[in-house]
Amino acid sequence: MIETRAIASLETPALLLDPEKLKANVQRMHRRIAALDGVLRPHGKTAKSIDVMNLVSEALGDAGLARSLQSQGITVSTLAEAEYYAAHGYRDIVYAVGIAPNKLARVAALLRQGVKLTVLLDSLAQVQFLMAAGEREQISFGFLVEIDSDGHRAGIAADDPALLLIAEHASESQWVEFRGVLTHAGGSYDCRSVDAIKAMAEQERNAMLHAVAALQKAGFTCEMVSLGSTPTAQYAQSLEGMTEIRAGVYPFHDLVMAGLGVCQVEDIAISVLTSVIGHHSGQLIIDAGWMALSRDRGTAQQAVDQGYGVVCDEQGHVMADVIVSATNQEHGVVRHRHGHDLSAEEYPAGRLLRVLPNHACATAAMFSAYQVIQDHERVQAWPRINGW
Amino acid sequence: MIETRAIASLETPALLLDPEKLKANVQRMHRRIAALDGVLRPHGKTAKSIDVMNLVSEALGDAGLARSLQSQGITVSTLAEAEYYAAHGYRDIVYAVGIAPNKLARVAALLRQGVKLTVLLDSLAQVQFLMAAGEREQISFGFLVEIDSDGHRAGIAADDPALLLIAEHASESQWVEFRGVLTHAGGSYDCRSVDAIKAMAEQERNAMLHAVAALQKAGFTCEMVSLGSTPTAQYAQSLEGMTEIRAGVYPFHDLVMAGLGVCQVEDIAISVLTSVIGHHSGQLIIDAGWMALSRDRGTAQQAVDQGYGVVCDEQGHVMADVIVSATNQEHGVVRHRHGHDLSAEEYPAGRLLRVLPNHACATAAMFSAYQVIQDHERVQAWPRINGW
């Protein structure tokens, strides 16, 4: 029997997850990708929970969206995630953060377990330390080269000669295996309209097409051509030539995604349950500070700045003009956007509220468990991992 | 035998702690407070580690600063900290976050173990649910009333009639015990000069003197008169009339404290060890993103904006103009403040760097252990707790 408890009996702050919203978000995204004949490789970095990943798989099955996550592979942001998901049956994993030498012993251990773990790099120097480690560990490291499709962060340009040098260098060694190219259109988070996101998705794909063509001309085949971000996955018009698309936050969504037009505020599947613990100048003090909400201010540059989160009542009904305007370690300050008083009569000490996060990955990272809502009033705890 | 390993063998990111810097910071602060005949009640929320707290105690002993932390009491920000420190011999604990009803069963459990745990409130409503819980649990809850000394966050004004009402109401019940008043000059974090911090320290003390006088006139004695913040503790000119002063971040210090003039950048005792994992437009990509550094941008409003942290070389030598300018979940972008190129020759993939944090509490919270440096080259792991 599964143990549950009443939401009202939880200690605050606590991280709530609404599985019905999650399922709807997952099915919406996977239907879009299926319509483009694409394959989604979900990112495990937001959930960091095998139960959540299994729920995503289940939602796909319910919607007749065919293949299980286990068979189509996942993305991770840490080796802790790779080890955790691998231990639970996920055997095709892309570790989508540039590789460092001190991580190769753990990568090798996963490879020896038969996990198809693919690492990421963008320099000859990295190929070289991979080759040295391969020889030392007597195992071959499969890798992707990161392509910069938007000048946002990492990777090399699609027409950078280093791309061919890396592929050539790798082809001369049995200790490394060039598998293809990967890009992340992180710049899509700064888009100001849906049309801009659509254009970014096409820019992302074009960079990949260019890289693949250059490699092909030099005689190299890409087994994997991987691109993606939740905004570009949501609005991509074509995935032709791509073997997969990655997206992370879409099962949960958050205020940043809502601000981008990628979801509605009502679609956000996680929130932080908190108690009113004080009143000050028409504002409320709650027991969710940055330790619970994170310091993420992802909506600060968007059209609507949501502070540290939008407040809902205990049942989850959104109070759009009530936001968390400031945070200390264990204190949040809640105010009405237009300065209206929030009274102690309406919000007495001890009243429960929920806060929708700016950034689901950052807020979830502050917790070691999800409280998963069952029948609106009860919750079941699902553990999640953190760390590296 | 204590297990240690070479710093160079650590996987990145990792949280380094320099115990020599910590000891010096602790002794400097405690000497100042001792010179004012004050008693420091350190905050356990930054360290969240019994080993670190014991090191603080040891540093006090070494400096002849008499009383142990166990005897002089500590402050905490969560019940998880209270339970953890209590289990390790700390029996006089102030829980300095306004109390919520759903936490009282755990408070009662600690009280039954003989821990002198004092809770915080600032409304009659809170006294009332404390009384109800006291009767239910058959135990008396000792509490302090939070005084607002700077309009910064929580508490009631020193001349608010609610203060006397709370004390009177409490005196009529055996299930609650009024112990005195507490304030936190959080506004000191916004000070722009040492003189402003000195003035804030005196403002904080004056608010407390007013509250105590009003209570005394009405026949109420304050067993505890508690004030503090690291900046005002550092620069208080008098603690007359106060029974204790609280401070949290001073054993570690951070860039926010350095920006306030409370410490030097070289005093900062913690840093995040990271690897270079890429190069992009004269900038470095490192494997310390906001998941390691936190999203805290505490220096953004100070005279010198330090981005997400100041970079040091592997040995900890500060490179003052090299900062982490942007972060994603597991990626940090390092740039020279004046735009100078950071080359792959000087900073090859795999090179180790250290990042000094804006806010020690926030950065430490992203890790489950400190790597404590021994003899400059080796480290020993000390666990720390998180959560509530």
Q: What are phi and psi of A109, to 5 degrees?
A: -60, -40
Using a CB-CB cut-off of 8 Å, the residues of chain A touching B366 are 365
- Surface-to-core class of residue A6, CB atoms within 10 Å of its CB (0-12 exposed, 13-18 middle, 19+ buried): exposed
DSSP reduced 3-state for A109: helix
Whether B151 sits inside 8 A of A281 (CB atoms) is: yes
Using a CB-CB cut-off of 8 Å, the residues of chain A touching B367 are 387
* Residue A40 one-letter amino acid: L
Alpha carbon of B367: minimum distance to chain A alpha carbons (Å): 7
Rounded to whole angstroms, the Cα distance separating B319 from B103 reads 45
Rounded to whole angstroms, the Cα distance separating B311 from B283 reads 13
Q: What pLDDT, on the 0 to 100 scale, is given for residue A320?
A: 86
- Surface-to-core class of residue B216, CB atoms within 10 Å of its CB (0-12 exposed, 13-18 middle, 19+ buried): exposed
Most confident of A55-59, A354-358, B259-263, B298-302: A354-358
Q: What pLDDT, on the 0 to 100 scale, is given for residue A65?
A: 73
Q: What pLDDT, on the 0 to 100 scale, is given for residue A369?
A: 98
Which member of B154, B326, B367 has the closest CB to residue A278? B154
- Nearest chain B Cα to A154, which residue? B280
Residue A287, pLDDT > 80, answer yes
To probe the interface with B, which of A110, A188, A293, A328 has the most B CB atoms within 10 Å? A328
> Beta-carbon neighbour count of residue B37 at 10 Å?
10
Using a CB-CB cut-off of 8 Å, the residues of chain A touching B11 are 79, 102-103, 106, 388
Q: What pLDDT, on the 0 to 100 scale, is given for residue B72?
A: 76
Using a CB-CB cut-off of 8 Å, the residues of chain A touching B368 are 386-387
Which member of B11, B280, B285 has the closest CB to residue A103? B11
Q: pLDDT grade, residue A68 (50/70/90)?
A: low
Whether A297 sits inside 8 A of B295 (CB atoms) is: yes
Using a CB-CB cut-off of 8 Å, the residues of chain B touching A79 are 11
Whether B348 sits inside 8 A of A295 (CB atoms) is: no
> Beta-carbon neighbour count of residue A227 at 10 Å?
27
Give the residue from A266, A270, A248 showing the smallest Cα distance to A357.
A270
pLDDT tens, chain B, 388 aa long? 578 999 999 999 999 999 999 999 999 999 999 999 999 999 999 999 999 999 998 888 887 775 666 677 999 999 999 999 999 999 999 999 999 999 999 999 999 999 999 999 999 999 999 999 999 999 999 999 999 998 877 899 999 999 999 999 999 999 999 999 999 988 888 888 999 999 999 999 999 999 999 999 999 999 999 999 999 999 999 999 999 999 999 999 999 999 999 999 999 999 999 999 999 989 999 999 999 999 999 999 999 999 999 999 999 999 989 999 999 999 999 999 999 999 999 999 999 999 999 999 999 999 999 999 998 899 999 999 999 9
Q: Cα A83–A87–A93 angle (5° rounding)?
A: 55
Alpha carbon of A114: minimum distance to chain B alpha carbons (Å): 23
Which member of B97, B348, B366 has the closest CB to residue A330? B97
Q: What pLDDT, on the 0 to 100 scale, is given for residue B189?
A: 86
Rounded to whole angstroms, the Cα distance separating A65 from B23 reads 59
Rounded to whole angstroms, the Cα distance separating B33 from B377 reads 34
Q: pLDDT grade, residue A58 (50/70/90)?
A: confident
Percentage, residues of chain A above pLDDT 90: 89
Which member of B100, B153, B349 has the closest CB to residue A280? B153
- Surface-to-core class of residue A106, CB atoms within 10 Å of its CB (0-12 exposed, 13-18 middle, 19+ buried): middle
Rounded to whole angstroms, the Cα distance separating B127 from B246 reads 24
Which member of B287, B297, B368 has the closest CB to residue A100? B287
Using a CB-CB cut-off of 8 Å, the residues of chain B touching A295 are 294-297, 362
Count interface pairs A-B at CB distance under 8 A: 172
Question: What are the structural domains, with CATH classification, of chain B?
Answer: 19-251 (3.20.20.10), 269-383 (2.40.37.20)
ipTM metric: 0.96
* E strand intervals along chain A: 5-6, 14-17, 40-42, 74-76, 92-98, 116-121, 141-146, 176-182, 224-227, 244-247, 270-280, 283-286, 310-312, 318-327, 332-336, 352-356, 369-374, 378-383
Q: What predicted TM-score, i.e. pTM, was given to this entire model?
A: 0.96
Exposure string of B348-382, with b = 16+ CB inside 10 Å and e = fewer, is ebbbbbbbbbbbbbbbbbbbebbbbbeeeebbbbb
Alpha carbon of B63: minimum distance to chain A alpha carbons (Å): 31
Average of pLDDT values for A147-166? 92
Alpha carbon of A199: minimum distance to chain B alpha carbons (Å): 22
Using a CB-CB cut-off of 8 Å, the residues of chain B touching A330 are 45, 77-78, 97
Rounded to whole angstroms, the Cα distance separating A183 from A195 reads 20
Alpha carbon of B283: minimum distance to chain A alpha carbons (Å): 9
Using a CB-CB cut-off of 8 Å, the residues of chain B touching A190 are none
Q: Helices H, strands E: what count in chain A?
A: 12, 18
Q: What pLDDT, on the 0 to 100 scale, is given for residue A70?
A: 66
Q: What pLDDT, on the 0 to 100 scale, is given for residue B69?
A: 66
To probe the interface with B, which of A103, A126, A291 has the most B CB atoms within 10 Å? A291
> Beta-carbon neighbour count of residue A302 at 10 Å?
17
Task: Encode A295-355 in three state secondary structure.
Answer: CCCCCCCCCCCCCCCEEECCCCCEEEEEEEEEECCCCEEEEECCCCCCCCCCCCCCCEEEE
Which member of A146, A279, A365 has the closest CB to residue B123? A279
Whether A388 sits inside 8 A of B11 (CB atoms) is: yes
Q: Are B242 and B208 in contact (CB under 8 A)?
A: yes
Q: What pLDDT, on the 0 to 100 scale, is given for residue B383?
A: 97
Q: What pLDDT, on the 0 to 100 scale, is given for residue B68?
A: 62
Whether B186 sits inside 8 A of A285 (CB atoms) is: no
From residue B289, how far is each of A380, B292, B341 by CA, in Å? 31, 6, 21
Which member of B11, B148, B362 has the closest CB to residue A295? B362
Q: Helices H, strands E: what count in chain B?
A: 12, 18
From residue B371, how far is each of A284, B19, B208, B310, B367 by CA, in Å? 39, 10, 40, 19, 10
Using a CB-CB cut-off of 8 Å, the residues of chain B touching A13 are 388
Which member of B103, B146, B297 has the closest CB to residue A11? B103
Q: If you search the block for the tokens 């139960």, which residue do you land on?
A: A51
Whether B97 sits inside 8 A of A277 (CB atoms) is: yes
Residue A67, pLDDT > 70, answer no
Using a CB-CB cut-off of 8 Å, the residues of chain B touching A102 are 9-12, 275, 350
Run of H or E residues at B371: strand B369-374
Whether B155 sits inside 8 A of A278 (CB atoms) is: yes
Q: If you search the block for the tokens 């937001």, which residue do you land on?
A: A46
Which member of B148, B186, B277 has the closest CB to residue A100? B277
